[in-house]
Structure 1
Amino acid sequence: MKKQQIRNSFLLLLTAVIWGNAFVAQSVGMNYVGPFTFNSIRCFIGGLVLIPCIGFLEKQERDTAGISKPENRKMLILGGVSCGIALAAGSSFQQFGILHTTVGKAGFITAFYIIIVPILGLFLKKKCGPFVWLGVVIALAGLYFLCITESFSIGQGDIYVFICAIMFSLHILVIDYFIQFVDGVKMSCIQFIVCGIVCAVPMMIFEHPSIGALVAAWKPLLYAGVLSCGVGYTLQIVGQKGMNPTVASLILSLESVTSVIAGFLILHQKLSGREMFGCLLMFVAIILAQIPAGSVRKKDNIAIKNDILC
């Protein structure tokens, strides 16, 4: 595996850790503000955080190369808007789902994007090798043991979270397409501004947030805005570059594992044997997804792009 792929895998893993801890912030924040308000404010915070980062990176590039690289502004704007709309839809359905279902079900159904991404990828001619599909099956089993602790049933919240999983799957595939043409940090900044605007419209119509409520929710909003949005989603965009979207979705699904760990460390919730077994299965799935197909196809004359699985 190339160094860039190892680095990108680490960035996606770090993203999963940040997102896993964000479940705590989302749960606390919803005690003070509505779903649209929470998503809109945190996205605006995330976008504002990235503006000075973009200026710093451009200055570094000019100092190093002497001139900034030309960029495709049309693709940058189109990619940022597309990602922002998908992010707004996915995060909003997730927030509403959390209001009407258990955290265990929400975590399991949200992570269903590890199945949806490769299925949608087939329509985009993104074929995957056997280790990826085996990893998907094992990851699903791991998520079941990790998240589902009561008899499974379909409710209103479950439907919302399932739609959220579809939207996040589209978000991953949209990033996979546009990241090859544009700067990831700039596209991330645009997606947050777009997501913030999209969520602000229903926020003003249905929720009418007060200044007092926003002040009371400042801690979860700052975490979700600065780390979950500003850092997490940007690491996702940068980390997905050159990675197969199915492999990326498997790594990102580790947010379910880290959310359980965060609950143990922050909320003092104990891990059961069932949950620990689910964590183990998730890690096995990630390792399988990273095995190069060439290691078991030595006689295959087809070049494996980027020396990875798919």
Structure 2
Amino acid sequence: MSRIRADLLLVLAALIWGTAFIAQKNAGELMGPISFVGVRFLLSCVALTPLALYEGGQSRTPLKKADWSLAGLIGICVFAAAALQQVGLATTTATNGGFLTALYVILVPLFVFAQSGVKPRRIVLVAGVVSVAGAWLLTDGAELTSWTSGDGLVLIADVAWAAGISLVPAFLSRCDRPYFLAFAQFGVVGALGTVVGLAVEPVSQEGLHAALPSILYAGLCSGGIAFTLQIVALKYTPAAEAALIMSLESVFAALSGAVLLSERLTGSAILGGALILLGVVLVESGPAMQNIRLPQFWLWLSQAPQYRNWLAQVWGKAR
């Protein structure tokens, strides 16, 4: 897969996640938030079973104990992030939730550096600051005046999101089994969410039935499709840069909140969306800009008068 195709998969994942904030927020009001996390990821696990089995049949390298352990650790990170985020969405707006979730873009490079010692490119850090500034403008009035405990939980969830994202490339580098990783991750999150949810939350048949559309969308689209696309793309796109592309999630969350929940989308919010898009463009154009060498640029500049004279002669003959 080419880098551009991997990046487009991440954009599609961000679109699905941004719109999923609506489904998640509605479901949290109908059934327990942790129970919802468990049920939706169990559905995702079932959806990925055929792909994981097919991949296992095609692979010639058996899974090692360390592979299972790393996949389980990633699943635990995703469970912590998803559960905290879902509980937090009960008392925050979809717009604020999208902004606070986007803050993991500045944490992923730190986790990658801590794990591998690879320093992020400067353009990635600049793009991260630009994207976070844009996400801030997407909040209500560009300020969190109605700070709630839910906002704090979503913010804490960013740490778990960043840890999970940064661990995926480490798994794929040692075991090229992306569908297995998605299947194992969904299984861990689904099992933990269901057990914890049943233990601490009341679950009714009426609430489960009412939340079924949200469960289907979050389980099949947000989980089964978007999370799997993220895992596949992270094999080709560095984690820190992938996080920046996925920060478009906050833009899609704001747009879906404005369209479906009548949440206000102000001029500052539109500017914020433009800044996030600029951050994505910066991280995408960074490698191309770095290939332009300064000596070559000055050589071209020194020859500019010759090109100008040649164009003048051509223009004179054309007249």
Give the alignment's TM-score, normalised by structure 1: 0.87
- Report deviation, 1:245: 1.1
Aligned residue type for 1:152: L
1:258 corresponds in structure 2 to 252
* Equivalent residue number for residue 313 of structure 2: none
Alignment partner, residue 104 of structure 1 = 95
Separation of aligned partners in 2, 1:4 and 1:294: 15
1:296, distance to aligned residue in structure 2 (A): 2.8
Return the alpha-carbon distance in structure 2 between the equivalents of residues 53 and 269 of structure 1.
38
SS in 1 for 2:173: coil
**Other-structure match for 1:117:** 108
Which 4+ residue blocks in structure 1 deviate beyond 6 angstroms?
Answer: none
Deviations 1:210-230 (A, max 9, x none): 222111111000000011111
**Distance (whole Å) between structure 1 residues aligned to residue 98 and residue 259 of structure 2:** 18
Deviations 1:5-40 (A, max 9, x none): 111101111110110110010011112101111000
Are the aligned partners of 1:129 and 1:293 in contact in 2 as well (CA < 8 Å)?
A: no
Name which of 134, 154, 158 aligns with 1:161.
154
Identify the residue that residue 79 of structure 1 maps to in structure 2: 70
Aligned-pair identity in percent equals 30
Cα distance, 1:103–1:268 mapped onto 2, change above 3 Å: closer
**Structure number with bigger Rg:** 2
Q: Deviations over 1:194-245 (max 9, x none)?
A: 1111112221111131222111111000000011111111111001113211
| 1:152 maps to 2:152 | no
RMSD of aligned alpha carbons? 2.1
Match of 1:290 in 2: 284
* Contact 1:15-1:233 at 8 Å conserved across structures: yes
1:281 aligns with 2:275: yes
Whole-angstrom CA distance in 2 between matches of 1:6 and 1:71: 31
- Residue identity in the other structure for 2:32: G
Query: Structure 1 CA distance, aligned partners of 2:142 and 2:259?
Result: 23
Matching residue within 124, 129, 133 for 1:132: 124
CA shift digits 1:143-162 (9 cap, x unpaired):
01112426435542222111
Quick one: distance in 2 between partners of 1:152 and 1:292? Answer: 32
Whose helix proportion is higher, 1 or 2? Answer: 2
Match of 1:89 in 2: 80
The aligned residue for residue 69 of structure 1 is 60
Contact kept, 8 Å, 2:84 with 2:153, in 1: the verdict is yes
Unaligned residue ranges in structure 2 (runs of 5+) = 295-319
Q: Shift in Å at residue 102 of structure 1? A: 3.3
Which amino acid is 2:166 matched to?
L
Question: Equivalent residue of 2:61, what SS?
Answer: coil
- Work out whether residues 95 and 253 of structure 2, in 8 Å CA contact, stay in contact via their aligned partners in 1: no
Aligned counterparts, 1:160-309, within 5 A: 160-182=153-175, 183-267=177-261, 269=263, 271-293=265-287, 295-296=289-290
1:131: how far off?
A: 1.2
CA distance in 1, matches of 2:55, 2:191: 26
Q: Equivalents in 1 of 2:261, 2:143: separation in Å? A: 24
1: CA distance between counterparts of 2:143 and 2:49?
Answer: 46
Whether the aligned pair in 2 keeps the contact of 1:113 and 1:166 (CA below 8 Å) is yes
Deviation, 1:297, is 5.5
1:174 and 1:132 map into 2 onto residues whose CA distance is: 19
1:142 and 2:134 correspond? yes
Aligned AA (1:207) = E
Aligned to 2:118, what secondary structure does the other structure show?
coil
**Aligned equivalents of 2:18 and 2:181: distance in 1?**
23
1:72 deviation in Å? 2.8
Measure, in 1, the Cα distance between the counterparts of 2:161 and 2:290: 32
Q: 1:39 matched to which residue of 2?
A: 37
**1:7 corresponds to which letter in structure 2?**
R
Name the SS for the 2:151 alignment partner. Answer: helix
Describe the SS at the equivalent of 1:208: coil
SS in 2 for 1:7: helix
Unpaired runs of 5+ residues, structure 1, are 62-67, 301-310
Q: Distance in 2 between matches of 1:157 and 1:267?
A: 18
- More displaced stretch, 23-32 vs 290-299: 290-299
